[in-house]
A and B are shown apart, each in its own frame.
Chain A
Amino acid sequence: MTSQALILIIGMSIVTFLPRFLPILFLSKKEISPSLSRWMSYIPVSVFAALVASDVFFVDGAFAMQPLQNVKLLPSIFVIIVALKTKSLLWSMITGIISITLLSAIL
């Protein structure tokens, strides 16, 4: 392993561990206000939606909304339908992988 890879891994581990550990450490000792915790209940859905948007609607950094240019659009619709029906991570991933494989082969 190169020293660069090691530095990268250690750096990543620090910026991953601290945001996970510090809030649990400090906030587990005292109560959070109800309004703060109600606001925070909207955080996960917002995070995932933002990640989905940046992953699905952009190709090589450019906004792409044409199904022929952006091969990720149609599979994402299939994945949403399967996710709504099954609530299963595994089935969603299988649907996504199969549909994008087939679509990339056709286009």
Chain B
Amino acid sequence: MGNKTIVKGLKASFPIMASYIALGLACGIVLFDAGFSVFSIFLMSLLVYAGAAQFLAGSMVVLGAAVPSIILMVFFLNLRHILMGASISKYVKNKSVGFLAVFGHTLSDESFGINYSNFQKQDWTADDAIVANIFNYLVWAISTAVGGIIGSHFSINTQIMSYALIAMFICMMVMQFVSKIYIITAIISIVLSVLLTIILKHNIALVIATVLASMIGYYIERKLEQRGAGSRD
């Protein structure tokens, strides 16, 4: 892994780093507010490294949730990574188990988004990707710890800080809009998750909505393809 790879990985991760600093500070503040010490915030970021899950843990601790139910919710929230990992796996073939473990541990929504689009270009390798991931990982861990320190000195409106997460999800959704079918899929997913959340009153609704919406998106793609093939005849 040469200097060129490190510079390339660093360059690619700049936009994510900038947002991780802002988001990490917000997350650290929320977690400190929930009663976590600066050390445990730092440890959580190193061992868990999942922004959405860490925000969720903070808000559930504030609500007085039990440890097992927080872990279960985090599990559901992370089910999306199975599918992200599966779809990016074709780009890390023939790598050692150690490499894959680090790559997997540092796979986040943002790094998936950036790496997935970079892999589709020719000059992006698995080594470039893991360098970018590790930079993002370290920036995240340090930012959340600094957020905890800030939270211990100032009182900050954590409700507003939590909105940073929503804005991030909105942007990541929009970045997936590469064709009309993806926009339709997003709308279907939104409608399904609202309806299912109201009916089931449980976060599992989001997992069901995700699976259904993605299947409908794929079905639409195939239908359009068949129609296109038919009109050529």
Contact = CB atoms under 8 A, between A and B. Distances in A.
- The interface size bin for chain B is 35 or more
Given A1-B37, A8-B67, A46-B213, A38 B221 contact: yes
A45 B185 contact: yes
Contacts of B221: 38, 42
A16 B89 CA distance: 17
- The interface size bin for chain A is 35 or more
B89 A53 contact: no
A84 B93 CA distance: 33
A40 B95 CA distance: 22
A5 B40 contact: yes
Contact of B164 (A1, A7, A32, A97): A97
Interface string B115-132: 000000000000000000
B81 interface: yes
A30 to B, nearest CB: 9
A76 B16 contact: no
Contact of B74 (A16, A26, A31): A16
A10 to B, nearest CB: 7
Contacts of B79: 19
B214 A21 contact: no
Interface of A: 1, 4-13, 15-17, 19-29, 31-32, 35, 37-58, 61, 63, 72, 75-76, 79-80, 83-84, 87-90, 92-97, 100-101, 104
12 contacts: A8-B57, A8-B71, A13-B48, A16-B49, A16-B78, A22-B82, A40-B83, A44-B109, A45-B173, A46-B211, A93-B22, A97-B161
